[in-house]
Amino acid sequence: MRRPDGFDSTPGDDAERTLDAPAPRSWRRRADVDEHAEASNAEHAEPELDPDGEPLGAAEPPRRRWALSAYEGLDDEAPAPAVEVDVEPERGSHAQRVDREWRAAQKHQRADERERAREAKRAAAQARRARIRSERAEVRRFTAGRRKQLRTGLLAIGGLVLALALLVGLVWSPLMAVRDVRVEGADRLDPAAVQAALGGHVGEPIATVTEEGVAAQLQAIPQIESFRLEVVPPSTMIVRIVERRPVAIIPADGGERVIDAAGVVLGGVDATTGSLPRLVGVEPGSPEFEAVATVLVSVPTEVLSTTQSIEAPTPSDIRLTLASGQSVQWGGAEDSRLKADVVAALIATQDPSVARVLDVRAPEHPVVRGS
């Protein structure tokens, strides 16, 4: 390989060259470097002193050197133009310059590190804020249905509470108090008597009216067997009663009394109950009365209205005396419904003057006798 031009010359040849004559580019570069090194060494070397103690060459102007304005290829034959530049002398020793450059590099590095740390911190904060926003958006998205259900439930509960408050206010207000008492189902009873017995409920809040309270007030009327209460807002109370059915007349202190099948005394005898059969020798509450009561509730009204008296020496020997003068051998209380039908058929078909005794103790085989 051929060496570039200028490397074959000797140091003596370099010394003979001047700046006025252009030299090869490689030589000029090397010369500039050497000249710069010599100037730096001369600047930092110990200055020589004259006999008066003044440094020699202190008034010399700064040295100048020639340098290429641009680097071109080493093999170019045409010399490159050179420009004259001023070179400021550098202060301090080489070690001091290196130390200054090292410290400046460290300072610049630390500044770069601080800037990168700030940028990383800002990026982390931005990422954290973005993550928090994303998590909140996801939470809102996943809990939207639950929040809607919660709002709906709260609204429903609030509506119920408001409705309950309004209802309580209306219940206890004078607008919802009992002002009208109606009695239905009274036949032998006077409705006014029942209304008078229920007068204590007038003015009472309609929501507080109960069947127990009505029953306590109707106990004073024995003719009522049962009742049914109906409350019609805002101020009406309807009482539907079921009257006891009078079935017989029993002797009592002070006169005869009408009783029902349960033995409850319903009052005195009047025009509507005077045709009821009279019990002879039968005391309410006795076994004989229990058997007779079964017969009384089984006999049709048309047969019961033609019966004058009922005797029962024993529970299995019940005897009826009819208004036509006929007598009925009833027997015990068993098969009372069938025996009642047979007696009704015999009364309708038999002549009272001939058939004086109707024996239905065996209702499938009744017997009719003349005496």
The tens-digit pLDDT sequence of the chain (371 residues) is 444 444 444 444 443 444 444 444 443 444 444 454 454 444 444 454 544 554 444 444 444 444 444 444 444 444 545 444 444 555 678 888 888 899 999 999 999 999 999 999 999 999 999 999 988 888 888 777 778 888 888 899 998 998 888 877 776 777 788 899 999 988 888 889 899 999 888 888 888 889 999 999 998 898 899 999 998 888 899 999 999 988 899 988 888 999 998 888 888 888 888 888 999 989 888 999 999 999 988 888 878 888 999 999 999 999 999 988 899 999 998 998 899 999 989 988 888 888 889 999 999 999 998 86
Domain co-membership, 256 together with 329 = yes
Look up the CATH number of the domain holding residue 305.
3.40.50
Per-residue confidence (pLDDT) for residue 91, from 0 to 100: 63
Q: Is the dihedral of CA 199, 203, 206, 210 positive or negative?
A: negative
DSSP-assigned letters across all residues of 198-228: TGGGTTSBGGG--HHHHHHHHTT-TTEEEEE
Give Cα 154 distance to the centre of its chain. Answer: 7
The answer on 327 and 359 residing in a single domain is yes
Same domain, yes or no, for 260 and 350?
Answer: yes
Could you tell me if residue 92 is inside a domain? Answer: no
Residue 143 confidence (pLDDT)? 79
Residues 253 and 363 in one domain: yes
* Count: domains in the chain: 3
> 171, 197, 232 — which closes off a domain?
171
Answer whether residue 210 is part of any domain. Answer: yes
Contact 305, 273 (CB under 8 A): no
Residue 42 placed within a domain: no
> What is the three-class DSSP state of 367?
strand
The verdict on residue 34 lying in a domain is no
Q: Is 109 inside a domain boundary?
A: no
- Specify if 252 maps to a domain: yes
Q: Give the pLDDT score at 89.
A: 52
Secondary structure (3-state) at 283: coil
**37, part of any domain:** no
The confidence score (pLDDT) of residue 2 equals 47
209 plus 270 within the same structural domain: no
Write down the pLDDT at residue 15. Answer: 39
3 state DSSP class of 31: helix
Query: Which pLDDT does position 129 carry in this prediction?
Result: 93
Is this structure's pTM higher than 0.85?
Answer: no
- 262 and 323 fall within a common domain: yes
Query: How many Å apart are CA 47 and CA 44, to the nearest integer?
Result: 8
Question: Which domain-ending residue is among 146, 171, 196?
Answer: 171
* 289: Cβ contacts below 8 Å, ≥ 6 apart: 263, 279, 282, 283, 312
Domain of 196 in residue numbering reads as 178-243
